[in-house]
Amino acid sequence: MLTGGHRGSDAGKGTQLKNVETKLIEEFLVETGDYVRERYAARERVAVVAKAHASDLLTEVDLTVQKRAVEAVARAFPRDAFIGEEEGLARFPANPDGRCWVMDPIDGTYNFVRGLLPMFGVSLAFVEHGVPQAGGVLFPVTGDLLIAERGGGAYRNGQRIRVSTVRTLEECSLGVDFGDGGDRISLFERGAGLLRAVGQLRCLGCAVLSLCQIATGDADAYVHLTLTPWDYAASQIIVEEAGGRASRLDGGPLRLFDGKRGVLFSNSALHDAIVELFD
């Protein structure tokens, strides 16, 4: 699901990441992996409910992972805000510039429940001034842990990762995902030129995997019209620290709590060409 070793990882080198927030993220994700793996292996016994519609799913695993993260953050940083997809925490912080933790307990819950693809991840970021300062994503099935902090680089399982060197849209593998049916129509309308131009197109139903694939150089770009901050906060810094770029669809800066929608992530080299092709 993630390879990327052939494109620039520094095998054998440990991470240089030092911040206490980064350490909390790493420890939390490592501790959580066994629990999520065990529940995924026994997923027919996992309690599931539908939220907004029949395929918008919530499991007991989402709730437990988020609750554990809230507790871990509160123990270490009791004054920090916490934003998460579930349980009434899906809101913007009262102070959008303050210290804030942003979690998606399971990104790709539909994949988890259906066993459709073993593609789902646990995502936790530390944010200040609306910009992620540290972030980690764990893919429990493979055990891949991607982590980054501002200015410190991005790593997968302790090895430095870099985005691809792909420079042309004909070679580009583009990821897309959709929030709902309206989104699908809008993307095909607004992104028609882009969808026609790229060499390959993928839709995994797991934003964090599509984004981390850009960071490892396995894919080159990703577009989503309605992605929410918890879907991308951790992956944003992982992509940026791997040499990629994150923006709004018009190329403008990506701030988590600016109320705007639509995101573009790329390996940097392709970014301007993609902005150009998007209406």
By rule CB under 6 A, what string of x and - marks binding of each residue 221-260 to ligand IPD? Answer: ------x---x-----------------------------
Binding residue for ligand IPD (CB under 6 A) from 21, 26, 104, 241?
104
CB of 85 to ligand IPD, least distance (A): 6
Site for ligand IPD in 45-84 (CB under 6 A): none
Q: By three-state DSSP, how is residue 87 classified? A: coil
The C-alpha atoms of residue 113 and residue 19 are separated, in whole angstroms, by 35
Binding residue for ligand IPD (CB under 6 A) from 15, 32, 59, 109?
109
State the binding partner of 29 from ligand IPD, Ca ion, none, CB within 5 to 8 A by kind: none
CB of 203 to ligand IPD, least distance (A): 8
Binding residue for ligand IPD (CB under 6 A) from 206, 234, 263, 269?
206
The C-alpha atoms of residue 266 and residue 243 are separated, in whole angstroms, by 9
Number of amino acids touching Ca ion (CB under 5 A): 4
Q: Report the amino acid identity of residue 8.
A: G
Site for Ca ion in 92-121 (CB under 5 A): 104, 107
CB of 252 to Ca ion, least distance (A): 23
Tell me if 212 contacts ligand IPD by CB under 6 A: no
Number of amino acids touching ligand IPD (CB under 6 A): 14
Q: By three-state DSSP, how is residue 237 classified? A: helix
> Which of 246, 192, 205, 199 lies closest to 219, judged by CA?
199
DSSP designation for 137: E
CB of 208 to ligand IPD, least distance (A): 7
Query: Would you give the end-to-end CA distance of the chain in angstroms?
Result: 31
- Which residues fall within 8 angstroms of residue 106, CB to CB, at 6 or more apart? 36, 59, 61, 62, 65, 112, 120, 121, 122
Tell me if 85 contacts Ca ion by CB under 5 A: yes
Residue ranges in contact with ligand IPD by CB under 6 A: 85, 104, 107-110, 177-179, 205-207, 227, 231
